[in-house]
Amino acid sequence: MAVRFDENHVRPMGRAAYGVNGINLDERDYVVGMTVTPKPGAAPVGAPATTADQVGTGDSSVQGAPATEGEIPPGEAVDLTQKGNLILSVTENGYGKRTPADEYRLTNRAGKGVINVKTTERVGKVVAIALVDENSQVMLISQYGKIIRMDSKTIRESGRNAQGVRLLHMEPGDRVAAAVVLAPEEEPNGNGGPLLQ
């Protein structure tokens, strides 16, 4: 289950405070992760901010005037098919999926939540979630030491109530230990490829 609520519903408090309920858990249920998502309808992180009158109309900018912060300069191509922020869910048996963050409706905190992954014996329980985009790279690590690194765009995007696709082939008894999103590489090596550290 997953719950999405506004951070303003959590009041500021001191270090010694117990906090407030984020999700109402069933018996033998536990929290596996948390991520901060953009507000519904907000521009994806790293994307230029646009409004309805700046896309597809002639009155969005004055000819010859410099573009203001977040406005698209005249004549510049914009990829409107670029995906926004996605929630990556990974299960213990090596399955995973990406779901648009907007599919998780905004509710109040301490709610029961909505289905995140349809868990079955085949896919197992959810072990990790993360916020990814089309340019993210993900690394999965199993308990037996098997590691795979992949682009997040190779993971199929599907709805909340889906099981996902196989990301890592597991041996009998093996489980996914961790799934992490790698930071983008800035510094190239001598061959022009990314520098691994």
CATH number of 158's domain? 2.120.10.90
Question: pLDDT digit string (tens) for 62-98?
Answer: 334 444 444 444 544 444 444 558 999 999 999 999 9
What are residue 138's DSSP bridge partners? 150, 181
As separate numbers, helices (DSSP H) first and strands (DSSP E) second, the chain gives: 0, 9
Residue 44 lies in a domain: no
Is the Cβ–Cβ distance between 57 and 117 less than 8 Å? no
CB-neighbour burial class of residue 159 (10 A; exposed 0-12, middle 13-18, buried 19+): exposed
Residue 140 lies in a domain: yes
How many structural domains compose the chain? 1
What are residue 180's DSSP bridge partners? 139
Residue 105 lies in a domain: yes
Mean pLDDT of 110-131: 92
Residue 66 lies in a domain: no
Is the Cβ–Cβ distance between 154 and 184 less than 8 Å? no
pLDDT of res. 38: 82
Tokens representing 170 are 């597991």
Residue 177 lies in a domain: yes
Residue 125 lies in a domain: yes
Is the Cβ–Cβ distance between 148 and 169 less than 8 Å? no
Task: Read off the pTM.
Answer: 0.72
Residue 70 lies in a domain: no
Q: Name the band, by pLDDT with cuts 50, 70 and 90, for residue 187.
A: low
- Domain coverage including residue 135: 4-37+82-182
Residue 60 lies in a domain: no
Assess whether pLDDT exceeds 60 at residue 190.
no
